[in-house]
Amino acid sequence: MERSKQHQVKVLTTFPEIIACNDCGKLFKRPELINGTIAQCDRCGAKLFYKTADTANRTLALSLACLILFVIANIYPFLNMRIEGIVQETKMITGIVQLYRQGMPLLALLVLSTAMIFPLLQIIGMIYLLLPLKLGYLPRKAALIFRTLCHLKAWGMIEVYLLGILVSMIKLAKMATVIPGLASIAFIFLIFLLAAVVSGLNPDDIWKQLPVKIRKKREPDTQNSTVLVSCHTCSFLSCLPKKEVHHICPRCEASLHLRKTNSIRRTWALVITAIIFYFPANMLPITFTSALGHEQADTILSGVIYFMFSGSWHIALIIFIASVIIPIMKILILIYLLLSVQFRSVWKPKDRTRLYRITEAVGRWSMVDVYVVTILVAMVQMGPLASIEAGMGAVYFSAVVVSTMFAAENFDPRLIWDVMEESNEHV
């Protein structure tokens, strides 16, 4: 589909049937799909939207089941550890409380949010929206709630937490017997069901039920003073005057921008922050272990080496990829993308967009080491026999993970394609 002036005028008059690609900005006439098919952008390969049989009822049932599992996972013992006849019982919250007691409130808050609060909000939010919609009425603030749920998707990380549990269990199995409690079984079911809730719901099933509040109907003009702006959250396309700066989406009420605001500057600031934190994150210890009078401080790399030489090379590899490779890779890719946009590169835009999507998707897995620390400090609190405390390295490392995730969120991949379009216009 070409975006010539003549075509753009045609687009403006029929814009509800038009969809813009979130990753490259290309406009498409919304195709009629049959169930089970996906509309994909032919320019950058992004998924535009997909058609399914109604997913709302199934998601509601799964959300209710998730709520029950969440309660069980949090009130019953999670993991029990037996060492020299002493049994220590831990719950999901124990590690978070320990981090707080050890003077790391921000780290405790991060783990509490990503492993407990955000997943719980996903579950409650879905029930709040889907139950009334099933009964035939629109819940209050539905647009705000669903918009928030869409943003929270990337920040609820219980599947990463599960990987953290597995790594911790292998580490602890060398010094004690670890017995999974009832909560850990509920937790595993919860992970699968919550994944089905988060990825199984077709967002269009909710968005299409929300009213579109168009205050003033705008007719397109031939002076080219209007512009089509796609909502970052719900993909609704609005026709706006070029000169007016502040707008909100008529459907989900998110603020509308032609491109993410100050994308380049913000992304640079966050990438530089991540680089600064990267050094203390790797140089300072993430855990202090004391067992029978013997004290040991571990950094991220010494943890990897420990697993490598204790026969668990696969765990060493997982930690090495999640904690060392992924953060460096994210920082380097983001720097490359930023420079390529600033130097107006026209080289392989599709591959660069793909790189961006990978960066956005893998970042969360770096949290695994932070969760391992949380679980270790929860489980190994046996006074002089054995105890583990978190080190400042863990705080700096989580700052690296969070700032690279925000950096990826702030980068606007459409800037890669804007350069392409401008250079095409000059030909």
Binding site for Zn ion (CB under 5 A): 21, 23-24, 26, 41, 43-44, 46, 231, 233-234, 236, 249, 251-252, 254
The minimum distance between CB 413 and Zn ion, in angstroms, equals 9
CA-to-CA distance for 116 and 92, rounded, in angstroms?
9
The residue among 24 and 126 lying less far from Zn ion, judged by its C-beta, is 24
* DSSP letter, residue 208: T
CA-to-CA distance for 25 and 117, rounded, in angstroms?
34
The minimum distance between CB 26 and Zn ion, in angstroms, equals 5
Tokens of 353: 């967009």
Q: Say if CB 300 and CB 369 are below 8 A apart.
A: yes
The residue among 115 and 201 lying less far from Zn ion, judged by its C-beta, is 201
SS3 265: helix
Bridge partners of 239? 228
Torsion angle of alpha carbons 34, 23, 199, 407, nearest 10°? Answer: 180
The residue among 26 and 171 lying less far from Zn ion, judged by its C-beta, is 26
The residue among 104 and 416 lying less far from Zn ion, judged by its C-beta, is 416
SS3 228: strand
The residue among 254 and 370 lying less far from Zn ion, judged by its C-beta, is 254
The residue among 251 and 330 lying less far from Zn ion, judged by its C-beta, is 251
What is the maximal distance between C-alpha atoms in the chain? 82
State the alpha helices, DSSP H only, in 113-246: 118-135, 142-152, 158-172, 182-200, 203-207
The minimum distance between CB 401 and Zn ion, in angstroms, equals 28
* DSSP letter, residue 22: T
Question: Residues 293, 297, 302, CA angle at the centre, nearest 5°?
Answer: 130
Tokens of 209: 């039920």
The minimum distance between CB 143 and Zn ion, in angstroms, equals 8
SS3 220: coil
Residue 11 φ then ψ, to 5°: -60, -45
Strands (E), 252-305: 255-256, 287-291, 294-298
Residue 291 φ then ψ, to 5°: -135, 120
The residue among 125 and 180 lying less far from Zn ion, judged by its C-beta, is 125
The minimum distance between CB 253 and Zn ion, in angstroms, equals 7
CA-to-CA distance for 325 and 294, rounded, in angstroms?
31
Side chain identity at residue 249, one-letter code? C
The minimum distance between CB 297 and Zn ion, in angstroms, equals 48
Helix axes 368-379, 392-410, angle to 10 degrees: 150
The residue among 159 and 418 lying less far from Zn ion, judged by its C-beta, is 418
The minimum distance between CB 259 and Zn ion, in angstroms, equals 14
The residue among 15 and 236 lying less far from Zn ion, judged by its C-beta, is 236
Q: Please choose, from the candidates 425, 331, 380, 375, the residue with its C-alpha nearest in 3D space to the C-alpha of residue 161.
A: 375
The residue among 206 and 407 lying less far from Zn ion, judged by its C-beta, is 206
The minimum distance between CB 186 and Zn ion, in angstroms, equals 36
Name the strand (E) or helix (H) holding 187.
helix 182-200
The residue among 257 and 266 lying less far from Zn ion, judged by its C-beta, is 257
Backbone Cα Rg of the chain: 24
Q: Any idea how long the chain is?
A: 427
